[in-house]
Amino acid sequence: MVKRKKNPKRITKQDTGAILLFGKENYKWMLIGLVVIIIGFVLMAGGGSKDPQVFNPAIFSFRRIRLAPFLVLVGFAIEIYAVLKAPGSKK
């Protein structure tokens, strides 16, 4: 039976350093993109009718058919930009 000595030096968070995958600017753009996507989905919601036999033309409004999907696509474009942007770049 081999006895192993415990390593007295503990590895702490300070020793390893917190390495983030993206920079602060990238996370800011990701948050902006997420907010734009959420706004798009909120604008898309609603317009239904309580009675399934009654047609409600409000589901075909400009807000639900054009504006909301456009905002969702813009939000995804912002997310792609945030992921592809080099961390620490000024542009």
Q: Is residue 64 part of a domain?
A: yes
Of 49, 43, 75, 74, the residue nearest 61 (C-alpha): 43
Q: Is residue 55 part of a domain?
A: yes
CB 32 within 8 A of CB 74: no
Q: How far is the CA of 20 from the CAs of 11, 17, 78, 83, 88, in angstroms?
A: 18, 9, 20, 13, 12
* pLDDT of 1 strictly over 80: no
Q: Is residue 6 part of a domain?
A: no
CB atoms under 10 Å from CB of 6, counted, come to 6
Q: Is residue 11 part of a domain?
A: no
Q: Is residue 28 part of a domain?
A: yes
What pLDDT score does 38 carry?
97
Domain containing residue 40: 21-84
pLDDT tens digits along 34-82? 999 999 999 999 877 788 888 888 888 999 999 999 999 999 999 999 9
Q: Is residue 15 part of a domain?
A: no
User: Who wins on pLDDT, 47 or 86?
Assistant: 86
Average pLDDT estimate for 4-31: 73
Q: Is residue 2 part of a domain?
A: no
What is this structure's pTM? 0.72
Domains of the chain: total: 1
Q: Is residue 91 part of a domain?
A: no
* pLDDT of 7 strictly over 70: no
